[in-house]
Structure 1
Amino acid sequence: MSSENTLFPWVNYQDENLNISIPVFSIHGNHDDPTGAEGLCALDLLSASGLVNHFGHSHSVERIEISPILLQKGSTKLALYGLGSIPDERLYRMFVNNQVTMLRPKEDQDKWFNLFTIHQNRSKHGPTNYIPEQFLDDFLDLVVWGHEHECLIAPTRNEQQLFYVTQPGSSVATSLSPGEATKKHIGLLRVKGRKMNLHKIPLKTVRQFFIQDVVLGDYQDLFTPDTPHATKKVEEFCYAKVTEMLEEAERERLGCPLTPEKPLIRLRVDYSGGFETFNTSRFSQRFVDRVANPKDIIHFLRRREQKEDIKDEVNVDYGKLIKTAAVEGLRVEDLVKQYFEAAEQKVQLSLLTEQGMGKAIQEFVDKDEKDAIEELITYQLEKTQRHLQARGVTTEQDIDAEVLFRDSKKNTTEEENEIREAMNRARAHRLERGDNALDADILDELAEPMDSDEGSVPFPAPTRGRGRGSRGRGGRGRGRGEDCKLMFSKFIEECRCDTRQ
């Protein structure tokens, strides 16, 4: 190891002042990427202390030369190559431009077992947002691929480059996705000459994770959308499915005292075909003491129906204006902002604000605050009307000029106060009706949410009739309000289906 890659001048087990039983060699990942003027990362601190041996750090952004660490025991020779995490697009471009070189030992090149460790996207997330296996040199014997979380530890052969690839995956579940449900393993690699053997060792201290998909339309013998109390029956059906997964987790946990008692459970429910969602907050309370993720048990989804393009701005499919791939990981506020950035000018908001509408939809989706959107629209319309009356505006041209004051108050304290007042009015109306619906954040004190690529928004029971008015044909101010109600009645349904943050 050269001094240009680490502040520790040699491998730690060669230091006479240190007693190292098993030396550790490590490349850095994307979460501890070297930054700053000196290009330091967390591993550099451990390496400078002599605790680990950090290698695979490239200081150049123009050319990368990967030099191996040469180890020999008996007649077995191991050439250990490593490349720490680099932004995928940059590394992809460097491979294409032949700016990445892997150096080989000068002597007995064919007698070395060549092992390469890499921490990049293996799955294709975009045209250049990954590293194809074909980019790597064909003299390699084994590639240990990091970054990907799914445990695919059994070596697979790349038939084009003729090397093997092992993907150990993450040691714990970091998201509620199918790839994380695979049993977690580590591998013990034995090398003798040019031959290798990888022994899989299951991890027994990992929290269990079970995921299952159900399509409600496949159980028409039990219920249909027209069945009396169909939503209640669907909820009981989901309760039975979750209970089955908990029983399976308990059976697998027998004889493994180190396994955490509460498993992670995810039930993905496809409610296409007219079914309605139920209140997941109330559902989750039944499993608070039995699962590790009570707020994220149920994930509702539905197949998106293809619709023809319609020029009428009232009936247009606004969901098509938002790329599906960009929906994952977004908050509702982000989705609203993204929608209006992509929407045509004729459907841009004139009186309302994206921040206010995003907050109102968030209250509707997360907390079942049925009056949030209507109160926001009413509040801001009333304020606009008072402003126009005070200014003595009568003509349509003057109205168009005056409503531009909306743009001047974006992201200001005044706007935040307006949003807060509108939300307070919505809550007050709910209390006047005696509707003490359970807020979605009631479980915040009971469990922390898991990071999820699908999101963790508890879905409230659907409502009908709120915020759905006929298109106004009168004055510009009131007509805009009715347009917004019509527009967002559809947009809300898309949010309930597609957003999970």
Structure 2
Amino acid sequence: MHSACLTSTHMFPFITTYLFPISSVIFIVSASDCHIGYMEKDPERRNDSLNTFEELLQQAREQKVDMILLGGDLFHHNKPARYFRYHCMRLLKQYCQRDEPSPIEIIPHPDETSSFPVTNNTLTYQTPVFSVHGNHDNPSGLGNLCALDVLSEAGLINHFGKALSHESVEMCPVLIRKGQTKVALYGLGSITDKALHGMFEKGKVSMSEPPVDVQSWFSMFVIHQNRAYRGDKEYIPESFLDEKLKVKLDLVIWGHEHDCQLDPVWYKKRFRIIQPGSTIATSIVKGETKQKIEKSFPQTVFQLQLAHWHFAMDKPFMNAYGSSGDQRQIHEMYKDTADHRTTDVHQKSRLKFAEHRLDPGDVDIESKVEEFCAEQINKMVEAVTRDNASFPKRPLLPLIKLRVDVSGGYPTFNKRRFAQQFVNKVANVRVHGHDEQNLIDFKDKDERKKTVSDRQ
């Protein structure tokens, strides 16, 4: 039975007592959804994903981890631009390559018929990187290849979890050993949720066990699928991992979901689930406003200890719930004009629209509403500027979302024209074709009520 000792840290080394010698402790950093290449056409934000990826590798090196485990979507596009492929390879060589040999070893699995080959079965670098692919950088086209296959062939990562059949999935573990500790690492790259859901229901998903002494292996499973419910067959229930797989799992690393859930959750006391979340916000929504934090854990035969750190280079990122991390700030403010109040989700402050003489019947109400919204955004920008003084590594421009409820007869205005006054003040100003990235959004409760009434 594996026991757990859980701690948290903010970029500090582990201070702990191990039940086994340090030569048997496998130090692992887990991350997911780095989305390298996101916003590649935006000069202000195109390097955000590279900056956080570099910080991930840098912290892994400083903490002297034995391996890095990625949960998919390393790249944002199936065919990433040369610029991002080049810098990704450069960073992997810079931070993962050292003169010393890797302290862990991969044991060949005797099951040669497995549909999950390890495309690079050698540990070229002192800090090896293991990764499954995600839905953004999934294999396709001639040869069914993806960017991870290229990196793997170059010896920069170990790409595993690639299904070679659309009818069934058989996972063979990557067998990793360090001293007395043995880890069976299973992986499943992204498959259409509906198709994988059907395979699970038909019993077409299986795992092969380690060849000898099964109970002595710690089983980890990396998966990149919908975890949250998005339709009856548009997600993978956690129960499937317990009921449909014959192998007993100890730990599941769940990629694809961008919401960082810091602490491991037990599923019926059978296995624990860690959801690292994304290293960068790819949409300005509530789930993305949580602090971007990565998991680091040493693994021994009987002890699993978890720690985490806050990213310092994901743009100013003060989430809507008061975190003080160093990422690119996302600040959301909700205006309820119908009730004549404003609620700042971060500061929980309230302002009376009446104090600003915002009367929906005023002939100049449109310009006054626009001026008031600009005033609120400027206040948020000022708050970011003050916070930046405490975080020198934080990029200057924040991500800001202003949601305005125009119920009660209040007018709207041109979003794009409005946003131009915040060029060089806010990061998400020059956004084209990404409505979720808009600086300001309007909603009308009265209009929604009317629509529902018409349908009835």
TM range (shorter): 0.5 to 0.7
User: Separation in 2 of the partners of 1:115 and 1:241?
Assistant: 47
Tell me, yes or no, if the aligned pair for 1:269 and 1:300 is still in contact at 8 Å: yes
Tell me, yes or no, if the aligned pair for 1:173 and 1:180 is still in contact at 8 Å: yes
Secondary structure of 2:234's match?
coil
Point out the more displaced range, 275-284 or 47-56.
Answer: 275-284
- 1:349-368 to 2 correspondences below 5 Å: none
Residue among 177, 182, 193 paired with 2:290: 182
- 1:207-222 to 2 correspondences below 5 Å: 207=315, 208=328, 209-219=330-340, 221-222=354-355
- Aligned residue for 1:196? 304
- Aligned residue for 2:398? 263
Q: Is 2:179 the counterpart of 1:71? A: no
Tell me, yes or no, if the aligned pair for 2:265 and 2:273 is still in contact at 8 Å: yes
User: Separation in 1 of the partners of 2:414 and 2:159?
Assistant: 50
User: Separation in 2 of the partners of 1:231 and 1:31?
Assistant: 41
Question: For residues 221 and 177 of structure 1, do their structure 2 counterparts lie closer, same or farther at Cα, with a shift above 3 Å needed?
Answer: same
Question: For residues 168 and 308 of structure 1, do their structure 2 counterparts lie closer, same or farther at Cα, with a shift above 3 Å needed?
Answer: closer
Higher relative contact order (CA 8 A, sep 6+): 2
- Aligned residue for 2:380? 245
- The C-alpha deviation readout for 1:130-188, integer Å capped at 9, x for no partner, is 111111137212111111122223222223x6322111122111112222221111111
What is the CA distance between 1:122 and its match in structure 2? Answer: 1.2
Secondary structure of 2:449's match?
coil
What is the CA distance between 1:59 and its match in structure 2? Answer: 0.7
- Equivalent AA in structure 2 for residue 306 of structure 1: K
User: Separation in 2 of the partners of 1:244 and 1:85?
Assistant: 42
Tell me, yes or no, if the aligned pair for 1:156 and 1:164 is still in contact at 8 Å: yes
- The C-alpha deviation readout for 1:238-282, integer Å capped at 9, x for no partner, is 123212221232233223222211111110111112111133344
Unpaired runs of at least 5, structure 2 = 1-107, 316-327, 341-352, 431-437
Residue among 236, 259, 279 paired with 1:171: 279
- Aligned residue for 2:143? 38
- Equivalent AA in structure 2 for residue 24 of structure 1: V
What is the CA distance between 1:71 and its match in structure 2? Answer: 1.4
Q: Across the two proteins, how many residue pairs are aligned to each other?
A: 307
Tell me, yes or no, if the aligned pair for 2:115 and 2:172 is still in contact at 8 Å: no
Q: Which has the larger radius of gyration?
A: 1
- The C-alpha deviation readout for 1:113-143, integer Å capped at 9, x for no partner, is 2111001111222221111111113721211
What is the CA distance between 1:232 and its match in structure 2? Answer: 3.0
Question: For residues 53 and 309 of structure 1, do their structure 2 counterparts lie closer, same or farther at Cα, with a shift above 3 Å needed?
Answer: closer
- 1:42-61 to 2 correspondences below 5 Å: 42-61=147-166
TM-score of the aligned structures, taking structure 2 as reference length: 0.62
Q: Is 2:441 the counterpart of 1:299? A: yes
Tell me, yes or no, if the aligned pair for 1:79 and 1:114 is still in contact at 8 Å: yes
* Greater strand share, structure number: 2
Alpha carbon RMSD of aligned pairs, Å?
2.6
User: Separation in 1 of the partners of 2:383 and 2:155?
Assistant: 45
What is the CA distance between 1:190 and its match in structure 2? Answer: 1.4
Residue among 249, 253, 263 paired with 1:140: 249
Secondary structure of 1:236's match?
helix
User: Separation in 1 of the partners of 2:251 and 2:197?
Assistant: 20
TM-score of the aligned structures, taking structure 1 as reference length: 0.57
What is the CA distance between 1:306 and its match in structure 2? Answer: 3.5
- Aligned residue for 2:228? 123
Q: Is 2:12 the counterpart of 1:12? A: no
- Aligned residue for 2:26? none
Tell me, yes or no, if the aligned pair for 1:65 and 1:102 is still in contact at 8 Å: yes
Tell me, yes or no, if the aligned pair for 1:77 and 1:193 is still in contact at 8 Å: yes
* Greater helix share, structure number: 1
- Aligned residue for 1:153? 262
User: Separation in 2 of the partners of 1:12 and 1:212?
Assistant: 50
User: Separation in 2 of the partners of 1:308 and 1:287?
Assistant: 34
- Equivalent AA in structure 1 for residue 336 of structure 2: V
Tell me, yes or no, if the aligned pair for 2:132 and 2:160 is still in contact at 8 Å: yes
Unpaired runs of at least 5, structure 1 = 311-316, 322-501
Question: For residues 309 and 262 of structure 1, do their structure 2 counterparts lie closer, same or farther at Cα, with a shift above 3 Å needed?
Answer: closer
- Equivalent AA in structure 2 for residue 301 of structure 1: K
Question: For residues 6 and 86 of structure 1, do their structure 2 counterparts lie closer, same or farther at Cα, with a shift above 3 Å needed?
Answer: closer
Question: For residues 309 and 60 of structure 1, do their structure 2 counterparts lie closer, same or farther at Cα, with a shift above 3 Å needed?
Answer: closer
Question: For residues 128 and 80 of structure 1, do their structure 2 counterparts lie closer, same or farther at Cα, with a shift above 3 Å needed?
Answer: same
Residue among 181, 194, 203 paired with 1:98: 203
Question: For residues 290 and 302 of structure 1, do their structure 2 counterparts lie closer, same or farther at Cα, with a shift above 3 Å needed?
Answer: same
- 1:293-332 to 2 correspondences below 5 Å: 293-294=428-429, 296-303=438-445, 304-307=447-450, 317=454
User: Separation in 2 of the partners of 1:8 and 1:112?
Assistant: 19
Point out the more displaced range, 47-56 or 235-244.
Answer: 235-244
Question: For residues 263 and 148 of structure 1, do their structure 2 counterparts lie closer, same or farther at Cα, with a shift above 3 Å needed?
Answer: same
- The C-alpha deviation readout for 1:350-376, integer Å capped at 9, x for no partner, is xxxxxxxxxxxxxxxxxxxxxxxxxxx
The percentage of aligned residue pairs carrying the same residue is 41
- Equivalent AA in structure 2 for residue 300 of structure 1: F
What is the CA distance between 1:301 and its match in structure 2? Answer: 1.2
Secondary structure of 1:266's match?
strand
- Equivalent AA in structure 1 for residue 332 of structure 2: I
User: Separation in 2 of the partners of 1:127 and 1:292?
Assistant: 37
Tell me, yes or no, if the aligned pair for 1:6 and 1:47 is still in contact at 8 Å: no
